[in-house]
């Protein structure tokens, strides 16, 4: 075993211990839709908010291939927890990849320690997939920018304190992305919180809207200090988010599988455990195959990310496949559990409510198919 593999197994062991300890409280926290403050404090202690931030800036500097395994394990116990550090780390990645040295030194240690936590703020009431249609603007005013607009569906926005905020610094450009910029935006005067949004699943973690009303930011907070690269910076960092969401997909898909393997050996019909009925065996086999295939795709995308390669196609394939696996496995687990799958006493109904988010967040699965197809054409010109 090389040094990295040893390091990885130490970290994964620590995550396993943490999960064994929190597992008994998950069901109630989920039912109460309560923000898991104590668990978040433990995640901060473990360094998870700096998981992929360079050690030079106070992070753990984990390879994304290890990070994906951590996300899978946590999502297998409670998917909501992975959202608390996912969008935070996308924000951090936008600074780490595209920020100036001064910006990295100022912000990354605060993000890595969890002292400042936050998210990527792209979506607006009128657009999510079509980001070039955003209406939030930033107008230069001396050494500052004055920002007006609104964002919605922003994870961590109630409890978080800082955001990577996508705006238009020039709303007149064609194409629109040439007028888009990404800012590091801590909460302050003019940053007005709206409502916490009610959701089907993904309970506990806060998702909310906010409004920017003559909100002032220093020009030094413009990532890379150059206008016009915001969409590129957001999408560059989002590849990490897609790998996280794909890894969550494995976690949910394998939780559904594990619960089904156990339940199908306990539940008897017609004198034998249901796992001895061929139709149940077919479900279990398909579910297990999806989990394994999803794991391979996620590791392939994570390895490409770690090499520094362009990996939008790999991350897109992993996200598409693993999240559809979560959808299928949670639906099949529900069937295997019969009426008990429909009961809030069991976890299966949670997987069934959580999985659809994975097909929407970090770019819908329809969008992932478009990204994959575009890459196929680009890589194979006639």
Ligand X SMILES: Cc1cc2nc3c(=O)[nH]c(=O)nc-3n(C[C@H](O)[C@H](O)[C@H](O)COP(=O)(O)OP(=O)(O)OC[C@H]3O[C@@H](n4cnc5c(N)ncnc54)[C@H](O)[C@@H]3O)c2cc1C
Minimal distance, residue 269 CB to ligand X, in Å: 37
Nearer to ligand X, 73 or 203 (CB): 203
Nearer to ligand X, 61 or 356 (CB): 356
Given the complex with ligand X, which of 176 and 360 has the nearer CB atom?
A: 360
Provide the H-helix boundaries in the chain: 3-32, 37-45, 64-98, 101-113, 230-266, 278-307, 312-336, 348-358, 365-379
Instruction: Tell the smallest beta-carbon distance from residue 124 to ligand X (Å).
Output: 8
Give the span between the Cα atoms of 8 and 350, in whole angstroms. Answer: 29
Which residue has the closest beta carbon to ligand X?
128
Residues that bind ligand X in the complex, under the rule CB under 6 A: 87, 119-123, 127-130, 153-155, 199, 202, 207, 357, 360-361, 363-364, 366-367, 370
Residue 121 backbone phi and psi in degrees, to 5? -115, 100
Nearest approach, Cβ of 157 to ligand X (angstroms)? 7
Contact 343, 241 (CB under 8 A): no
Q: Could you tell me which residues come within 8 angstroms of residue 144 by beta carbon, excluding any fewer than 6 positions away?
A: 216, 217, 218, 219
62: left (phi over 0), alpha (psi -120 to 50) or beta: beta
**101 in catalytic set:** no
Q: What six digits make up the tokens of 261? A: 């393997």
- Of these residues, 30, 72, 349, 362, which one is catalytic? 362
Cβ proximity to ligand X, 245 vs 325, nearer residue: 245
Minimum separation from the CB atom of position 119 to ligand X (A): 4
Do residues 228 and 97 make contact, with C-beta atoms less than 8 angstroms apart? no
Positions marked active-site: 362
């Amino acid at each position: 075993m090389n040094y990295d593999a040893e390091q990885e197994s130490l970290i994964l062991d620590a995550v396993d211990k943490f999960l064994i300890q929190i597992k008994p409280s998950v069901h109630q926290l989920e039912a109460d839709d309560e923000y898991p403050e104590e668990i978040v404090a433990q995640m901060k202690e473990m360094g998870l908010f700096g998981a992929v931030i360079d050690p030079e800036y106070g992070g753990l500097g984990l390879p994304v291939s290890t990070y994906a395994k951590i996300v899978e394990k946590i999502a297998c116990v409670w998917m909501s927890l992975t959202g608390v550090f996912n969008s935070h780390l996308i924000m951090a990645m936008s600074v780490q990849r595209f920020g100036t040295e001064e910006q990295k030194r100022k912000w990354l240690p605060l993000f890595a320690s969890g002292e400042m936590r936050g998210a990527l703020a792209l979506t607006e009431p009128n657009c999510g997939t079509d980001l070039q249609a955003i209406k939030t603007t930033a107008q230069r005013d001396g050494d500052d920018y004055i920002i007006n607009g609104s964002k919605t569906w922003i994870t961590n926005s109630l409890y978080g304190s800082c955001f990577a905020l996508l705006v238009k610094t020039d709303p007149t450009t064609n194409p629109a992305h040439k007028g888009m910029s990404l800012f590091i935006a801590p909460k302050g005067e003019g940053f007005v919180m709206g409502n916490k949004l009610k959701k089907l699943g993904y309970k506990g973690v806060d998702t909310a809207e906010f409004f920017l009303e003559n909100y002032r930011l220093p020009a030094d907070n413009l990532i890379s200090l150059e206008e016009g690269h915001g969409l590129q910076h957001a999408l560059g960092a989002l590849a990490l988010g897609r790998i996280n969401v794909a890894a969550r997909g494995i976690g949910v898909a394998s939780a559904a599988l594990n619960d089904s393997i156990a339940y199908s050996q306990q539940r008897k019909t017609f004198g034998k455990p249901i796992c001895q009925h061929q139709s149940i065996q077919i479900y279990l086999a398909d579910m297990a195959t999806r989990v394994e295939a999803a794991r391979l795709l996620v590791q392939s995308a994570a390895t490409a990310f770690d090499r520094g390669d362009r990996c939008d196609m790999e991350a897109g394939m992993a996200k598409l496949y693993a999240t559809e696996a979560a959808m299928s496995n949670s639906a099949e687990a529900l069937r295997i559990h019969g009426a008990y799958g429909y009961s809030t006493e069991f976890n299966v109904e949670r997987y069934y409510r959580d999985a659809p988010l994975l097909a929407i967040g970090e770019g819908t699965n329809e969008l992932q198919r478009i990204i994959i197809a575009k890459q196929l054409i680009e890589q194979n010109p006639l």
